[in-house]
Chains A and B, each alone.
Chain A
Amino acid sequence: MSNMFFNEEEMGLVQAICSRLIPSEPDSPGAMEAQAYTYIDHALAGYFSHLQNYYRQRLHDFNRLANRYYGADYVRLAAEQQDELLHSIERMQVGEDSDDMRVFFEVIHEHTIEGTFGDPKYGGNRDFVGWRMIGFPGAQWGYTGEQMQLGYDSGQIEILSVTDLLKRHKEAEKEVSRS
Chain B
Amino acid sequence: MSVRIDAIIVGLGAAGGLIATELARGGQKVVAIEKGAFYRQSDFLGKFDEIRYYCRSAIVPHMKSDPITWRPNEKTKAEVLPWASNTLGLGNPFQIPPSMGTGGGTLNWGGAAFRFREADFRMKSTIAERFSESALPEYTTLEDWPIDYRQMEPYFDRVEWELGVAGKAGNVNNTTVEGGNPFEASRSRDYPMPPIQRGAVDDLFCDTAKRMGYHPFPTPTAIATTDYKGRKACTNCGFCHGFPCHIGSKLSTHDLIKAAVEETGNLEIRPFSRVFRINKRADGRVKGVSYYDADSRIVDLEAEVVILACYALENARLLLNSGINGNGHVGKHLILHNYGWFNGVLPEITNSFMGSLQGGSIIDDYTSELIPDNEEGVLWGSPINTWTGDFQPIETIHGLPPHVPKWGKSFKDWMGQNFRRLFRMYSQHSTLPSNCYYVDLDPVVKDPFGQPALRITHEWTDYDAKAVEYFMRIKRKIAKEMGMLEWWEDSPTPNYHVTVHDVGTHRMGLDPNTSVTNPYGEVHECKGLYAVGGGQFVSQPSYNPTQMIFALAYLTSDHLLERV
Contact = CB atoms under 8 A, between A and B. Distances in A.
Nearest to A150: B200
A93 to B, nearest CB: 17
A148 B237 contact: no
A150 B50 contact: no
Nearest to A17: B407
Contact of B200 (A83, A149, A172): A149
Interface string B312-352: 00000000000000000000000000000000000011110
B88 A107 contact: yes
B299 interface: no
A110 B90 contact: yes
Given A114-B51, A179-B41, A142 B416 contact: no
A22 B45 contact: no
Given A51-B88, A110-B91, A152-B200, A166 B46 contact: yes
A11 interface: no
Contacts of B420: 134-135, 154
Given A122-B51, A142-B235, A152-B351, A23 B419 contact: no
Nearest to A22: B412
Interface string A140-179: 1111110111111110000000100110010011001101
Nearest to B414: A134
Nearest to A137: B353
B88 A150 contact: no
Contacts of A86: 407
B237 A143 contact: yes
Interface string A101-137: 0010011011111100111001000000011011111
A124 B203 CA distance: 37
A148 B355 contact: yes
Interface string B72-116: 000000000000000111110000000000000000000000000
Contacts of B408: 20-21, 23, 83
B172 interface: no
A150 B412 contact: no
A136 B353 contact: yes
A30 B412 contact: yes
Contact of A134 (B42, B234, B393): B393
Given A22-B407, A22-B412, A141-B237, A51 B348 contact: no
A120 B199 CA distance: 27
Contacts of A147: 351, 354
Interface in B197-253: 197-201, 203-204, 234-239, 246-247
Contacts of B48: 119, 138-140, 162, 165
B416 A133 contact: yes
A135 B238 contact: no
Contact of A21 (B41, B45, B359, B407): B407
Interface string A72-113: 000000000001001000100000000000010011011111
Interface in B500-524: none
Contacts of B350: 150
Contacts of A142: 234-237
A120 B153 CA distance: 48
Interface string B425-451: 000000000000000000000000000
B412 A28 contact: yes
B33 to A, nearest CB: 23
Given A117-B393, A150-B204, A176-B246, A107 B90 contact: yes
Interface string B8-52: 000000000000000000000000000000001110011011111
A23 to B, nearest CB: 6
A33 B328 CA distance: 60
A118 B55 contact: yes
A69 interface: no
A25 interface: yes
Contact of A139 (B49, B198, B247, B411): B49
Which residue among B48, B91, B200 has the maximum number of chain A CB atoms within 10 Å of its CB? B48
A105 to B, nearest CB: 9
B415 A118 contact: no
B407 A109 contact: yes
B103 to A, nearest CB: 14
Contacts of B351: 143, 147-148, 152, 154
A131 B353 CA distance: 12
A173 B41 CA distance: 10
Contacts of B409: 23, 25
B393 A130 contact: yes
Contacts of B349: 150-154
A174 B454 CA distance: 42
Interface string A37-81: 000000100011011001000000000000000000000000000
5 contacts: A23-B412, A47-B89, A83-B408, A134-B419, A172-B247
Q: Which 6 residue pairs across A and B have the least CB separation, nearest first?
A: A142-B235, A139-B48, A117-B393, A134-B419, A118-B51, A177-B42
